[in-house]
Structure 1
Amino acid sequence: MTNDKLNDKIIKACLFDMDGLLVNTEDIYTITCNEILEKYNKGPLTWDVKLQLQGLPGFEAGSKLIEHYKLPLTFEEFNRMNVASQDLKWPTCEFLPGALDLLTYLHGKNVPIALCTSSNQTKFHAKTSHLTEGFKLFDAVTTGDDPKLANGRGKPCPDIWQIGLKKLNEKYGTKITPDECIVFEDGKPGVISGKAFGGNVVWVPHHDAYDHLGDVEAFLEGRGEMLNSLEDLDKAKYGL
């Protein structure tokens, strides 16, 4: 790779978040949370708050939301209401622009790809069972309840990306390093975890979040770039 290419490295693997990056489930999370908030004359859920919840494990995200809006609910009560509403809506979720095309492209180029999502196994299958065309392309999948992911070590900790990369290296007998990976994320906690992991971050935030992102360049710290859509990825820039 020439000196004008990223880190003088050829990208050898790509690691993906799921919610809000590949599929439009973040919109469903907003809808179901607002249904609960409205019952208690709270809300609506705004993006300055939502940005703090994205990518977090379910218990942590739910607890933060309960605390912020001072809901008279335990996490278990909130979660039961939320899950009941979500389960009706997951079958309607769909790929976001450019997501399926990018996964198909990388698979066709034999670039190892791993999914690293904070969703647990049950939610992962509920969200993806009707989207197998794309999700069957992944070489490795790590969910938020993976036994290798210690309690309290979800995003913004880097562990989930480390686990995902280890699975790829074990599958293919490779020694790919974090700096040879792209980490694709939509949420701020995920971007923080991707930087801590040592990957090259491609950040694709929800359009409604733009007014609350702050200083994007300072946040990225020269460790990646922000795109409007996965459709805008310059593959040549990363040697893909």
Structure 2
Amino acid sequence: MGVPGSSTGDEFHRWAQLPIPREQFKREQKEQQRLHFPHCKPLPGVETLLANLNSAHNVDGNKMHIALASSSEKNNYELKTSLPETKEIFSVFDENRRILGDDPRLQKGRGKPAPDIFLLALQVINESLGDGEKAIKPSECLVFEDSVPGVEAGRRAGMRVVWVPHQGLAAEYEKRDKEVLAGRTGLVPIGDEWQLGNVDDGWAVKLVTLENFPYEEYQIQADS
């Protein structure tokens, strides 16, 4: 779901109407994650995208800065990136710019769709800028997300969002794309409705793939 923590797990358990107790589901889920996460591979286009963004500039010639803001807790992140080639791809993120779901700086229960993880990632970037570099505003950020709560979190943070859902998820929300992009699905109600976007406001788009990403549409000058 793109959301850490037991409260959102409870939401999923109720929604799915699973015929097993919550604790049993958690145990079986962890076992499946342990078995399958080490075989995770990035989506097509991710390797090129990250490499390009890591060396890119905006139209004013300012260096682009990137950070990872993932709901995965540290153990799961390490499982997902355990393949040497995957670990190499994600090495573009400086260690201090990897914000994970169990980061102690995140308030418990404030995972996605709350904006906290993205705002923390931006804070970390701004705190590590070089001399003469201007602080980056949320409105100058671009979030890449595959989950519905993640899109909402990005919108709540005041950032532009690119949604690249798995085919199954895309099919599930086929008739609600506009609500997803506005952050208005109400999947996990958390209040603060003023943070949400508006339908067709142009601040979020859905892409089928990250291959051949249209950098120029976001005023990004990639080296390749």
Q: What's 2:172 paired with?
A: 212
Q: What's 1:233 paired with?
A: 213
Q: Percent identity of the aligned residues?
A: 37
Structure-2-length-normalised TM-score: 0.77
Q: Aligned-pair distance for 1:207?
A: 1.6
Q: What's 1:55 paired with?
A: 2
- Post-superposition CA distance 1:180-213 (Å, at most 9, x none): 0101111111111111100011111112223332
- Does structure 1 residue 100 correspond to structure 2 residue 47? yes
- Post-superposition CA distance 1:72-124 (Å, at most 9, x none): 3133x322222122212122111111011100111122521111111111111
Q: What's 1:202 paired with?
A: 162
- The 2-side partners of 1:69 and 1:147 are apart by 31
Q: What's 2:89 paired with?
A: 134
Q: Aligned-pair distance for 1:219?
A: 3.9
Contact 1:227 1:233 in 2 (8 A): no
Contact 2:164 2:209 in 1 (8 A): yes
Large movers: runs of 4+ above 4 Å? none
The alignment of Structure 1 onto Structure 2 pairs a total of residues equal to 186
Q: What's 1:121 paired with?
A: 74
Contact 1:58 1:119 in 2 (8 A): no
> Equivalent residue of 1:113, what SS?
coil
Q: What's 1:186 paired with?
A: 146
> Equivalent residue of 1:136, what SS?
helix
* Unpaired runs of at least 5, structure 2: 57-62, 182-198
Contact 2:5 2:108 in 1 (8 A): no
Q: Alpha carbons of 1:82 and 1:219: their partners in 2 closer, same or farther (altered >3 Å)?
A: closer
Greater helix content = 1
Q: Aligned-pair distance for 1:218?
A: 4.6
Q: Alpha carbons of 1:132 and 1:219: their partners in 2 closer, same or farther (altered >3 Å)?
A: closer
* Unpaired runs of at least 5, structure 1: 1-53
Structure-1-length-normalised TM-score: 0.72
Tell me the C-alpha RMSD between the 2 structures.
1.7
